[in-house]
Amino acid sequence: MFETIKKLVKSFMRKLKSTNGNSLAEFAVTTAMMATLATTAAPKFGQVGAGAKEKKTMNNIDKILTVANNFYNQTLSEEGKGRFPGQEKYDVAVGGVTLAEGASTDETLEAYVETILDQKVSYTSELGEFVYVFSPASDDDDALQGDWMSLESSVGYDGNDEIGALDFKQDFGNNGMTSPFQDGSYAYLVIPGSGSGTSAQAPVLVVIDTENPSKLHKTLVP
Q: What is the pTM of this model?
A: 0.78
* CA distance readout (Å), 91 to 95, 129, 193, 195: 13, 17, 4, 9
d(CA 101, CA 59): 36
Domain range annotation of the chain: 2-46, 53-220
- Residues in the chain, how many? 222
Confidence (pLDDT) at 201:
95
Confidence (pLDDT) at 107:
96
Q: How many CB atoms lie within 10 A of CB 155?
A: 29
Could you give the angle at the alpha carbon of 190 between the alpha carbons of 187 and 195, nearest 5°?
170
Q: How many CB atoms lie within 10 A of CB 203?
A: 26
User: Which residues, listed in sequence order, are joined to residue 218 by a DSSP beta bridge?
Assistant: 207
Q: Per-residue confidence of the chain (222 residues) as pLDDT tens digits?
A: 545 555 555 555 565 555 555 565 565 556 666 666 556 655 655 555 788 999 999 999 999 999 999 999 999 999 999 999 999 999 999 999 999 999 999 999 999 999 999 999 999 999 999 999 999 887 788 888 899 998 888 787 655 567 899 999 999 998 999 999 999 999 999 999 999 888 899 999 999 999 999 999 999 999
Confidence (pLDDT) at 110:
96
